[in-house]
Structure 1
Amino acid sequence: MSVAWMDKVEQQTRLAGHNRVAMLLFRMGDEQLFGINVFKVREVMRRPALERMPGAHHLIAGSCNYRGMTIPVIDLAVALGYPSLRDEPSAHMMVTEFSRSMQGFLVAEPQRLVQCDGDNLETPAPALGFGTRVNAVTRVDGALVAVVDVEQVLASLNTTQAELSAPMQRMARVHDLQPRRVMVVDDSLVARNQLVNLFRQMDVECVVAQDGREALKRLEELAEAPEGEGITLVVSDIEMPRMDGYALTRAIRDTPELRKLKVVLHSSISGIFNEAMVREVNADRFVAKFQPDLLAQTVLDLMPEQFEKF
């Protein structure tokens, strides 16, 4: 990645934690703009030579040598309903890092870095026709921008259900976490389902919210709930529309009735800057997606020995 690109990303990401999202915009062959969080982009380059991968998923365009590593290259155009870019000489590749794994995504035309206010990110109406692979929309200079749910795309390539190991399931049963309840906050349906399944294996009841604003409202409602119906711990994504995970954590710490809640930020975004932000907003832990045993152990570590409702 060039020094100029790194400087631009650093300038943009300094806004994180203030409910602002820095996105890289790109196109897929027409005028529609798409976006991806710049935290997840390591480099943008011309499409390299791709090696064929017989028997691979239809979204895999091939593999390539990236700085000495062999990484899969996903045809994001096909995933979004556009003609394949696999053999398009003018195509570009975004090298991304999600949940400690690296992959390339083919796009037609990278555009620019922009700042978006989290309040202006909305869940797309079904009538827009983006389907499940877009989890938010906003406008930049009047143009509609569709934010790609990359986790959903990656999940479609790996249909194996992540399960807790047998030892961890036994440990959860020994702890007997009932009647504690956990709030799961994530705008990705795939991620929410993964987390609900994990807590089901731990015999822990979940309350689900799709973004920070919905979560905060629900937490305030449950603050006066009878014993056994309150929330003990929040597991929240970071990158979400309306209110992100950083802003949600800050709001929890600023609300007297909620500030004792344990908060785990759970995200595919990684890196030193993110870890610093987690400390700044006073979250209890950060766990990279999706590591079932590590997340389960974190929950066991943070749950109080005796049930408390905050």
Structure 2
Amino acid sequence: MANILDSVDQRTQLVGENRLELLIFQLNTSQLFAINVFKVKEVVKLPHLHALPGAHRNICGVANIRGISIPVIDLRGAIGMRSTEQTPDCNMIITEYNRTVQAFLVGQVMNIVNMTWKDIQPPPEQVGRNNYLTAITNLEREGVQRIVSIIDVEKVLAEIIDYNIQISEDVLDDTIVSHLHGRKILIVDDSSTARAQIRETLAQLGVEVIEASNGLKALNMLKGWCDQGKDINDEILMMFTDAEMPEMDGYKLTHEVRNDPRMNDLYIALNTSLSGRFNEAMVQKVGCDRFISKFQPDLLVEVVQDRLRKVITQ
């Protein structure tokens, strides 16, 4: 299975072209699931797991991989299905999200597919707010169209790890904070959990958050304001955008904004759980102003304060 991921580093150029690659797998059912290859470090057969007494119910143990202890999450159980029965067919997908490494216990790992974000759609609204999907897509296998469910890993992790939105007192600049009340910031992210984390953090400063669940919705919103003759910088202080999203990713969104003279000076911060070094290169390529790896409340606040400080001194 390792050879599936041998050329991942060579694939990162796809992101700047509004493309992605999905790792397709099963959870001991016929249904197909996926996560973005760029989050995946390695795929291995399920090794012996060491039990962790008192751990979260969806942590099925710790794996020792080349001397590194990695917590293993039962992905099937974490998304509300019956817990996975550990069999010889099980695999472990080792991932890096939000500057942490964890593994997911899954069933059969199928293959990697190259797609465009235009082919990735948000889940139907009828599935409700409590679903564990960020998107769905269709994949043809053996002449049959199959639905692939793309898992909201950030939601899964947030229900296991207690994310703290408290802002450190020494981060706050009293000369700036008083000017933040009532300011508006656009948050673009396909994960409702990620949007909530930012919204609840900034709400402590009196900041109003406008939300969009993908890059295309955000771009249409921005263009709508411009078409009405509004100044983008009067409408919002700045925009935080995720990198990977259905229909249009954050890189493509930034590219479109920078190429529209009506809004090309909008302050844009890329806020993502993807690889730091890769994103720093992409930030320069597409023209983002800042890069932030999720989830860091203090850093979020610092970026917002820095942005407002520049606005006030202009």
Using structure 1 for the length normalisation, give the TM-score.
0.91
Aligned pair partner of 1:292 in 268, 280, 297? 297
Cα distance, 1:130–1:279 mapped onto 2, change above 3 Å: same
1:118 lines up with 2:121 in the alignment:
no
Unaligned runs of 5+ in 1: none
Identity across aligned pairs (percent)?
39
When structure 1 is superposed on structure 2, of 160-169 and 291-300 the one drifting more is 160-169
Equivalent in the alignment of 2:306: 301
Matches within 5 A, 1:154-233: 154-171=157-174, 173-174=176-177, 176-223=179-226, 224-225=229-230, 230-233=235-238
Q: Contact 1:238/1:267 (CA < 8 Å) preserved in 2?
A: yes
Cα offset for 1:171?
4.1
- The SS at the match of 2:223 is helix
Cα offset for 1:226?
7.0
Equivalent in the alignment of 1:134: 133
Cα distance, 1:179–1:302 mapped onto 2, change above 3 Å: same
When structure 1 is superposed on structure 2, of 80-89 and 36-45 the one drifting more is 80-89
Q: Contact 1:182/1:231 (CA < 8 Å) preserved in 2?
A: yes
Q: Contact 1:222/1:231 (CA < 8 Å) preserved in 2?
A: no
Following TM superposition, the consecutive aligned residue runs of length 4 or more in structure 1 with deviations greater than 6 angstroms are none
Letter in 2 for 1:151: E
Equivalent in the alignment of 2:74: 75
Count of matched residue positions in the alignment of Structure 1 and Structure 2: 308
Equivalent in the alignment of 2:16: 17
Equivalent in the alignment of 1:33: 32
> 1:25-75 CA deviation, whole Å, 9 max, x = no partner?
001112211110011100000001111111111111011112222121000
When structure 1 is superposed on structure 2, of 127-136 and 61-70 the one drifting more is 127-136
Cα offset for 1:282?
0.8
Equivalent in the alignment of 1:272: 277
Q: Contact 1:266/1:289 (CA < 8 Å) preserved in 2?
A: yes
Q: Contact 1:183/1:206 (CA < 8 Å) preserved in 2?
A: yes
State the Cα RMSD in Å. Answer: 2.4
Using structure 2 for the length normalisation, give the TM-score.
0.90
Q: Contact 1:19/1:244 (CA < 8 Å) preserved in 2?
A: yes
- The SS at the match of 1:36 is strand
Matches within 5 A, 1:34-53: 34-53=33-52
